[in-house]
Amino acid sequence: MKISKLVILLMILPLMFIIVHADTITATLQNQNPNPVAPGNFVYLNVKLANSGDSDIKDVRIKFIETEDFRIPSDSPEEIEAGTIVAHGGYKGSEDYYEIARFRIYVDEDTPIGTNKVRFEVRSDELGEVITFEFDLLVQDDNPFLEVSNFDIDTIEPGTSKYLNITLKNNNNIPLKKIVLSLDLESVTDDAISVDQGSNQKVVTLLKEGESKDVLFKIIASPDADAQPYLVPLDIEYEDSIGNSYTSEVLGTIKVYSQPELSVKLDSQTIYSTGTGKITLAIANPGTSSIKGTQLEILSNDDYSVVEGDYHYVGDLNPDDFQTIQSDIYINNKDNAILKVKTTYLDSYNNKNEEILEIPLKIYSSSELKALGLSGGSTFSWVSILVFIGLFVGAYYIAKKVFHKKVKLRLKR
């Protein structure tokens, strides 16, 4: 059976029509906004449809093909009616001969960072087939944040060393790499902190998404370091999975502390037996930690009574500071006397310290006083009385002589 040439021609024409139109419809990704887009966010894609053929193409539709990483939200269409795409849209100078299809797409939180493929399908009854287009979509975290979840070191004493533990945590959904940690110890006050072993820089090659890692530095405090908190800057450099570099600075605190020392000693006394006299106390700070708001209270007991100067405010005492205070006391016990002194002060971290000190006074018997060449009891009780009596007697005789002279002069007249 012979098939006429007319029949064959009629069968081939539709195929030629489809091929011509298939070759003339084009789609390009005009832009994405934002660019790049971070996982867990929406992105707008503008797709430009053009027709470089000689005839218009009607009823053109474009559809976004969803994947696990890219989805169309429920309130947005997955297919857009582009209508008629006029001819000659693919030639130079024909910028107005195209249509724009705008899609709103959700980027899944687990979408890989980097360049990803998105796919569209274009169809029309006149085309007779579905044309597929693929475009590159850039996904990238918006300045991925590297968290320092721990900056921990025990309180350190001057001249000693301890380990500083820094914990890094990657809360992003991408890995971070080439993480460089640098302690800026040159900016620490008075060079009080330095590295005891190794350098001030550590490198973490890779920190996967959701991963934490500890980094250790061995730190030493200067023997001359004051007892106080020191701010230590930590500089961090790192890269994301596609090579973008980021920097951040974190401030940590290292506490230097030494137990404060307050020394209260008997410096001198003027009374060595029962009676009234002065005592002098020497107050010093022999430690490396400052002492603030120092107060001393001399507590009376059965051995003695405080006549004057039971309370003294000394104030702040820096290391190696020295002061003296005086009080008048009356010693009741001829055999033994223990001075009780209550001290109150704040350390460099404003922690309150209270302590009652017992300071033995020097008490001697009469024979010991003579052997040592010391006066015993209150000098006022005997010496003062004798001096007073002597002055009174002297004044009496002087006044008596003056009176008699005046009487004689009057009698002569």
Position 71 in a domain: yes
pLDDT of residue 95: 55
Where in the sequence is the domain holding 409, given as residue range(s)?
384-413
Any idea what DSSP says for residue 409? H
- Shared-domain flag, residues 27 and 126: yes
- Shared-domain flag, residues 39 and 121: yes
- Shared-domain flag, residues 38 and 134: yes
Contacts of residue 176, Cβ cutoff 8 Å, sequence gap at least 6? 144, 146, 170, 206, 207, 238, 239, 240, 241
Question: Which of 65-69, 90-94, 333-337 bottoms out in mean pLDDT, i.e. has the lowest?
Answer: 90-94
Q: What percent of the chain is predicted at pLDDT more than 90? A: 58
φ, ψ (nearest 5 deg) of residue 112: -60, 145
- Shared-domain flag, residues 274 and 363: yes
- Shared-domain flag, residues 79 and 154: no
What is the distance of C-alpha 73 from the center of its chain? Answer: 42
Position 378 in a domain: no
- Label residue 181 by pLDDT band (50, 70, 90): very high
- Shared-domain flag, residues 195 and 242: yes
- Shared-domain flag, residues 364 and 389: no
Position 90 in a domain: yes
- Shared-domain flag, residues 106 and 163: no
pLDDT of residue 298: 95
Nearest CA among 332, 331, 345 for reference residue 264: 345
Number of domains within the chain: 4
| Spatial distance between the Cα atoms of 237 and 201, rounded to a whole number of angstroms | 11
| β-strands 275-284, 263-269 pairing | antiparallel
pTM reported for the whole predicted model: 0.58
pLDDT of residue 6: 47
Position 175 in a domain: yes
Beta pairing partners, 194: 220
- Shared-domain flag, residues 353 and 394: no
Tens digit of each residue's pLDDT (9 = 90 or more) over 82-137: 999 988 775 544 456 788 999 999 999 888 888 899 999 999 988 888 999 999 99
Contacts of residue 228, Cβ cutoff 8 Å, sequence gap at least 6? 255, 256, 348, 349
Strands (E) in 55-160, as ranges, are 57-65, 70-71, 79-85, 98-107, 114-123, 131-139, 146-152
Which residue is associated with the tokens 């090659």?
205
- Shared-domain flag, residues 225 and 268: no
Q: How many residues does the chain have?
A: 413
| Spatial distance between the Cα atoms of 210 and 159, rounded to a whole number of angstroms | 38
Position 379 in a domain: no
- Shared-domain flag, residues 46 and 61: yes
Tens digit of each residue's pLDDT (9 = 90 or more) over 338-376: 999 999 999 989 999 999 999 999 988 888 888 877 765
* pLDDT for residue 268 is more than 80: yes
Position 377 in a domain: no
- Shared-domain flag, residues 296 and 206: no
Counting Cβ atoms within 10 Å, is residue 386 exposed (0-12), middle (13-18) or buried (19+)? Answer: exposed
CATH number of the domain to which 211 belongs: 2.60.40.10
